[in-house]
């Protein structure tokens, strides 16, 4: 059985790399809190313990390697990251396809799955499309989808697709990837109260690492996890341009509950979706309220943010992107337009390969949730949808 105690995780990462410099200790309390929750709440199977151990050790291994490269190449710390674009919408609001579209712009770069999986040494331009780590990443994902056949239908995956920032901040152990993959409510509640500064400092270090051998004009990054930490995000990236996508939050709650319920079967026995939905409804609503607070307090300046309604985006994705570019002062070039249209044309006609879910399956009270989400829907003008 995999040992997921902090001491065992640290020892395994050090042994596999021969390294010991973690680039600071801010991650240690997060690891302690997470491993306590995994042991007490996650209901891990024997295989799940092995999965969790691999997950935790892998995150720390990548951290050690990035820190070691930075020590050997101190010039990386001087690399500038200017006016990155952060997509901060919640699940099922169009963030994934929007992210992939923005990544098609030749003036932009998004961190790809394979380079987040194995960031050392940093990718190089000459081998960026043929790096052997691409195949390694593909094999890992094929293993996951063989165990969770429904995964591909829920979310597009692939080594060459843009990866979410929850995987990056996971190397600081402050990430909502963990409450999505595992039942760890005490950790999630701790995370909602945690100081996220170190996670975004690490995020910057990681992007600097990835661009150390390939110059970057503009980073485009994405994660629903940013919505819970907009203050820390903007403190670390005060010149960031932000795109927040919006959709009926009850659809969001139903979708993320279905996704988390499925993902958790990788490491634990199935959990009733009703339980997962009760947990995630609180998280989602908390995040949406924080996004309003960030606007009202000026944490996100009005000149640096654009809102995209899901229904408008779904009806005309390219038009929505062009409008967002205009709002953010970015040139929408003919080449970007062409590449985005070609990407769209290659996508399946149905959303996420046919991920089917309904709000009714959550067992939640629609009227109660409408009251709790009224502030968000009114503030951003988000309409109700037919739920089913």
Asked if the structure places residue 240 within a domain, the reply is yes
Asked if the structure places residue 54 within a domain, the reply is no
CATH number, position 148: 3.40.50.300
Asked if the structure places residue 17 within a domain, the reply is no
The arithmetic mean of pLDDT across residues 330-350, rounded, is: 91
Query: Number of folded domains in the chain?
Result: 1
Residue in this structure with the two tokens 């600071």, named with its chain if needed: 24
Do the beta carbons of residue 16 and residue 54 sit within 8 Å?
no
* Average pLDDT for the chain: 94
Asked if the structure places residue 257 within a domain, the reply is yes
Q: What pLDDT, on a 0 to 100 scale, did the predictor assign at position 352?
A: 44
Q: What is the pLDDT of residues 246-300, one digit of tens each?
A: 999 999 999 999 999 999 998 999 989 999 999 999 999 999 999 999 999 999 9
Predicted TM-score of the model (pTM): 0.94
Asked if the structure places residue 373 within a domain, the reply is yes
Do the beta carbons of residue 4 and residue 35 sit within 8 Å?
yes
Q: What is the pLDDT of residues 84-118, one digit of tens each?
A: 999 999 988 999 999 999 999 999 999 999 999 99
Asked if the structure places residue 296 within a domain, the reply is yes
pLDDT at 155 over 80: no
Q: What is the pLDDT of residues 36-88, one digit of tens each?
A: 999 999 999 999 999 999 999 999 999 999 999 999 999 999 999 999 999 99
Q: What pLDDT, on a 0 to 100 scale, did the predictor assign at position 151?
A: 58
**b/e burial code for range 157-174 (CB count within 10 A of at least 16 → b):** bebebbbbbbbbbbbbbb
Pull the structure tokens for residue 149: 């056949």
Asked if the structure places residue 303 within a domain, the reply is yes
Q: How far apart are CA 121 and CA 124, in angstroms?
A: 9
Edge-to-edge strands, sheet with 85-87: 220-222, 85-87, 241-246, 305-309
Asked if the structure places residue 209 within a domain, the reply is yes
Instruction: Tell me which residue range forms the domain holding 356.
Output: 80-380
């Amino acid at each position: 059985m995999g040992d997921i105690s902090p001491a065992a995780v640290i020892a395994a990462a050090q042994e596999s790399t021969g390294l010991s410099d973690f680039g600071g200790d801010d991650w240690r309390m997060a690891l302690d809190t997470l491993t306590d929750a995994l042991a007490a709440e996650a209901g891990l199977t024997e295989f799940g313990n092995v999965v969790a151990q691999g997950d935790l050790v892998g995150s720390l291994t990548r951290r050690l390697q990035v820190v070691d490269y930075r020590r050997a190449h101190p010039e990386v710390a001087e690399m500038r990251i200017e006016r990155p674009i952060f997509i901060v919408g919640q699940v099922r609001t169009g963030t994934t396809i929007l992210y992939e579209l923005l990544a098609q712009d030749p003036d932009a770069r998004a961190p790809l799955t394979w380079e987040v999986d194995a960031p050392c040494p940093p990718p190089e331009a000459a081998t960026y499309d043929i790096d052997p780590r691409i195949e390694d990443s593909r094999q890992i994902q094929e293993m996951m989808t063989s165990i969770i056949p429904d995964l591909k239908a829920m979310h597009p995956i692939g080594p060459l697709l843009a990866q979410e920032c929850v995987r990056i901040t996971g190397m600081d152990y402050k990430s909502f990837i963990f409450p999505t993959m595992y039942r760890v409510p005490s950790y999630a509640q701790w995370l909602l109260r945690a100081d996220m500064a170190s996670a975004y400092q690490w995020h910057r270090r990681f992007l600097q690492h990835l661009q150390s051998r390939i110059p970057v004009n503009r980073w485009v990054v994405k994660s629903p996890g940013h919505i819970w930490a907009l203050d820390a995000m903007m403190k670390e990236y005060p010149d960031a341009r932000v795109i927040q996508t919006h959709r009926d939050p009850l659809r969001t709650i139903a979708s993320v509950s279905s996704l988390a319920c499925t993902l958790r079967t990788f490491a634990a026995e199935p959990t009733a979706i009703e339980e997962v939905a009760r947990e995630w409804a609180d998280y989602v609503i908390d995040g949406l309220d924080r996004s309003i607070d960030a606007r009202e307090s000026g944490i996100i300046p009005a000149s640096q943010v654009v809102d995209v309604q899901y229904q408008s985006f779904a009806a005309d994705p390219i038009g929505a992107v062009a409008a967002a570019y205009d709002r953010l002062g970015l040139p929408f070039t003919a080449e970007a337009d062409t590449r985005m249209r070609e990407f769209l044309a290659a996508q399946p006609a149905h959303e996420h390969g046919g991920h089917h879910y309904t709000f009714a399956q959550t067992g939640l009270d629609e009227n109660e949730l409408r009251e709790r989400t009224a502030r968000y829907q009114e503030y951003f003008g988000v309409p109700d949808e037919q739920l089913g």
